[in-house]
């Protein structure tokens, strides 16, 4: 077989020769080194290698190149070689470019020039990148095809599930020639949506669990007992899984839908530490998921929990199919869901023009349309800025008299700077009408009623915790949020059914060894960073709990 390739691109001939020399000296026997002195020359070389079917293991690009800088080069090259490791060569003054590359092209590493001696500053980095490339499954995933009706709620659920779990698919309408052909092949009684795998297997109106198993997501626990069960795959749950697994706990994370939670639906998070250019919720969730897997955590998708029960020293979680798993400790990070908008006619259009949350899969379909958003928190602001890039106009309906009480200042400034976003204060939706999908909204603004034509309504109106499945096992406040630590203690009175002499730890519920983290916890701060922090803190308290057993 031909050797895999390492590509290096630098417009400084002296540096270019030095990079190639150092690479050949160390890796010449196992890899072919291809050197280019201009970005266009490098792109042509990569294209030729793609046509020949060569494997590219790593691409090293200098940041400061005319015509196309290193970030732009790596972005173009990754379309042809998505599994190649990406390294940016920078000067000390270019660290901002490296940060940008981390966000834009998921940069694997950046190297500061010069790197003498290479044995200390160059080879260890390249060794790590090539080792990571060797361990990567480089077989491209063939694309699924999903066929359905444009205004079908079940079709939307399938597409949203696949998108949020980073499963590529091709969306086809039943009236498209290719879509109609697949429906005909499925038979006269075909039930939509129709999912067709690369191998030709057809799934008609599949449930979430079947779909997850078909596309290769893990749905079955590897064992019946763990050190730690994390319920919920949002920022708090992913944080707990990363820290639990990295600290040696046999950890399983159980998620009903997709990793990332509500934060995973965010188009852009710009105030999360370490991402000065912002990061999408999906990017952040995917990196956290990969990080948890790297440390050995087990991730189960499309598994809904039905009960939690303490049995002696074990904490038992039950699933819809009757199976149970147990652990020494459990972290509840089930997060919250958006509340439904109480207006006549809207419920029948959910998934057919009315969407709760960002529904990023629908954004391209909003092109040149008038879009309405209900909400005044950060999630609504992020959605407004993102959808403004597709829609002709975005209308933000705010019940109060301003955004300052509920939305971050940076988002308010962004909204004010976008010409096609219009904020309507003291406004609410009073009804929705349509034939098969949303077509009109009734809106009240400062007491004045009006009707508008629109096919798009995105709702962000606060949240309710997902805790009803816990029954009477775990204490909650009157809104359903989990009570922990000091909130359980009233004077000398012990928490209900608390069997220990000590008081509950800060994030511990009234069941010893069962902790809560993130938005599901009463009085928590509803921010991504605080949720991640609570996930990590919960793991530290799990260690403390286990040491006392």
The pLDDT tens digits for 58-92 are 999 988 888 788 888 888 888 788 889 999 888 76
The H-assigned helical ranges of 165-234 are 177-186, 208-214
Give, as one character, the DSSP assignment of residue 303. Answer: -
- The reported pLDDT for the residue numbered 12 is 87
Residue 117 has pLDDT above 90, yes or no: no
Residue whose structure tokens are 């000390």: 92
Residue whose structure tokens are 């359905």: 148
Q: 184 — phi, psi (to 5°)?
A: -65, -40
Specify whether the CB–CB gap between 360 and 263 falls below 8 A.
no
- Confidence (pTM): 0.75
- The reported pLDDT for the residue numbered 414 is 92
**In the predicted model, what is the mean pLDDT of residues 250-279?**
83
C-alpha separations of 491 from 115, 482, 485, 488, 494 in Å: 62, 19, 13, 10, 8
Specify whether the CB–CB gap between 349 and 437 falls below 8 A.
yes
Specify whether the CB–CB gap between 510 and 495 falls below 8 A.
yes
Which residue would you say has higher pLDDT here, 273 or 432? 432
The percentage of the chain sitting over the pLDDT mark of 70, rounded to a whole number, equals 96
Alpha carbon 24 to its chain centroid, in Å, reads 39
- The reported pLDDT for the residue numbered 142 is 57
- The reported pLDDT for the residue numbered 416 is 94
Could you please report the per-residue DSSP string of 500-526?
SSSPPPTTB-SSTTEEE-GGGBTT---
Residue 139 has pLDDT above 70, yes or no: no
Specify whether the CB–CB gap between 333 and 231 falls below 8 A.
yes
The pLDDT tens digits for 284-337 are 888 899 899 999 999 999 999 999 999 999 999 999 999 999 999 999 999 988
Alpha carbon 298 to its chain centroid, in Å, reads 17
Residues in the chain: 549
**In the predicted model, what is the mean pLDDT of residues 245-272?**
86
Which residue would you say has higher pLDDT here, 67 or 179? 179
Residue 101 has pLDDT above 70, yes or no: no
Torsion of CA 274, 280, 281, 287, to 10 degrees: -60
**In the predicted model, what is the mean pLDDT of residues 122-134?**
90
**In the predicted model, what is the mean pLDDT of residues 243-270?**
88
Give, as one character, the DSSP assignment of residue 364. Answer: G
**Helix or strand run (H / E) with residue 25:** helix 13-27
Q: Which of 323, 289, 285, 292 is nearest to 305 (CA)?
A: 323
Banded model confidence at residue 393, pLDDT cuts 50, 70, 90: very high
The percentage of the chain sitting over the pLDDT mark of 90, rounded to a whole number, equals 60
**In the predicted model, what is the mean pLDDT of residues 338-345?**
89
- The reported pLDDT for the residue numbered 95 is 62
Specify whether the CB–CB gap between 193 and 147 falls below 8 A.
yes
Q: What is the 3-state secondary structure (H, E, C) of 413-461?
A: HHHHHCCCEEEECCEEEEEEECCCCCCEEEEEECCEEEEEECCEEEECC
Which residue would you say has higher pLDDT here, 137 or 68? 68
Instruction: Report the distance separating Cα 129 and Cα 124, nearest Å.
Output: 9
Residue-range domains of the chain with CATH: 5-135 (3.40.50.2300), 144-214 (3.40.30.10), 225-337+464-548 (3.50.50.60), 347-461 (3.50.50.60)
Banded model confidence at residue 168, pLDDT cuts 50, 70, 90: confident
- The reported pLDDT for the residue numbered 96 is 66
**In the predicted model, what is the mean pLDDT of residues 363-381?**
91
Residue 112 has pLDDT above 70, yes or no: yes
Q: Please, which residues have CB within 8 angstroms of residue 474's CB and are 6 or more apart in sequence?
A: 308, 332, 467, 482, 509, 510, 511, 514
Instruction: Report the distance separating Cα 150 and Cα 155, nearest Å.
Output: 8
- The reported pLDDT for the residue numbered 450 is 95
The pLDDT tens digits for 421-469 are 999 999 999 999 999 999 999 999 998 999 999 999 999 987 789 899 9
- The reported pLDDT for the residue numbered 422 is 96
* Helix (H/G/I), strand (E/B), else coil: 56: strand
Specify whether the CB–CB gap between 303 and 255 falls below 8 A.
yes
- The reported pLDDT for the residue numbered 98 is 62
**In the predicted model, what is the mean pLDDT of residues 147-171?**
90
The pLDDT tens digits for 467-526 are 999 999 999 999 999 999 999 987 667 788 898 989 999 999 999 999 999 999 998 988
- For the chain, the farthest-separated pair of C-alpha atoms sits apart, in whole angstroms, at 77
**Helix or strand run (H / E) with residue 7:** strand 5-9
- The reported pLDDT for the residue numbered 362 is 86
By the 10 Å C-beta count (0-12 exposed, 13-18 middle, 19+ buried), 3 is classed as middle
**In the predicted model, what is the mean pLDDT of residues 364-386?**
92
């Amino acid at each position: 077989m031909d050797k895999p390739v390492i590509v290096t691109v630098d417009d400084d001939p002296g540096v270019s020769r030095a990079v190639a020399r150092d690479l050949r000296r160390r890796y010449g026997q196992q890899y072919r080194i291809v050197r280019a002195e201009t970005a266009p020359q490098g792109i042509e070389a990569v294209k030729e290698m793609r046509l020949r079917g060569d494997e590219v293991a790593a691409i090293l690009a200098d940041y400061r190149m005319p015509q196309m800088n290193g970030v732009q080069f790596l972005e173009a090259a990754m379309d042809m070689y998505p599994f190649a490791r990406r390294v940016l060569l920078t000067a000390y003054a270019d660290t901002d470019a490296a940060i940008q590359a981390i966000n834009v092209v998921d940069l694997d590493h950046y190297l500061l020039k010069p790197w003498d001696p290479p044995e200390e500053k160059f080879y260890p980095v390249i060794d790590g990148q090539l080792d990571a490339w060797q361990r990567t499954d480089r077989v491209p995933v063939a694309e699924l095809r999903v066929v359905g009706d444009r205004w079908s709620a079940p079709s939307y659920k399938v597409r949203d599930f696949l998108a949020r779990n980073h499963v590529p698919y091709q969306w086809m309408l039943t009236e498209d020639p290719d879509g109609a052909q697949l429906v005909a092949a499925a038979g006269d009684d075909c039930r939509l949506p129709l999912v067709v795998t690369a191998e030709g297997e057809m799934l008609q109106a599949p449930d979430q669990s079947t779909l997850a198993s078909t596309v290769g997501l893990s749905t079955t626990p590897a064992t019946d007992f763990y050190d730690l069960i994390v319920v919920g795959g949002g920022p708090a749950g992913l944080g707990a899984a990363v820290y639990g697994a990295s600290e040696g706990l046999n950890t399983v994370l159980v998620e009903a839908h997709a990793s990332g939670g509500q934060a995973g639906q965010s188009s852009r998070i710009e105030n999360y530490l370490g991402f000065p250019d912002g990061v999408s919720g999906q990017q952040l969730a995917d990196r956290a998921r990969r990080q948890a897997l790297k440390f050995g955590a087990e991730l189960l998708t499309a598994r809904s929990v039905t009960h939690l029960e303490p049995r002696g020293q074990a904490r038992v979680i039950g699933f819809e199919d009757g199976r149970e798993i147990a652990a020494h400790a459990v972290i509840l990070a089930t997060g919250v869901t958006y509340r439904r908008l109480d207006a006549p006619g809207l419920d029948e259009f959910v998934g057919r023009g009315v969407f709760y949350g960002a529904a990023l899969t629908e954004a391209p379909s909003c092109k040149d349309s008038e879009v309405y958003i209900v909400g005044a928190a950060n999630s609504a602001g992020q959605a407004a800025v993102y959808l403004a890039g597709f829609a002709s106009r975005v209308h933000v309906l705010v019940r109060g008299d301003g955004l300052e009480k509920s939305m971050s200042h940076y988002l308010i400034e962004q909204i004010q700077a976008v010409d096609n976003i219009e904020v309507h204060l003291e406004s609410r939706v009073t009804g929705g009408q349509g034939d098969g999908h949303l077509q009109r909204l009734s809106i009240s603004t400062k007491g004045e009623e009006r009707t508008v034509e629109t096919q798009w309504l995105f709702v962000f109106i606060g949240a309710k915790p997902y805790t009803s499945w816990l029954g009477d096992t775990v204490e909650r406040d009157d809104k359903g949020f989990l009570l922990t630590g000091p909130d359980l203690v009233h004077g000398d009175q012990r928490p209900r059914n608390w069997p220990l002499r000590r008081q509950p730890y800060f994030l511990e519920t009234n069941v010893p060894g069962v902790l809560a983290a993130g938005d599901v916890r009463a009085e928590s701060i509803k921010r991504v960073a605080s949720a991640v922090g609570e996930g990590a803190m919960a793991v530290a308290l799990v260690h403390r709990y286990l040491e006392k057993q």
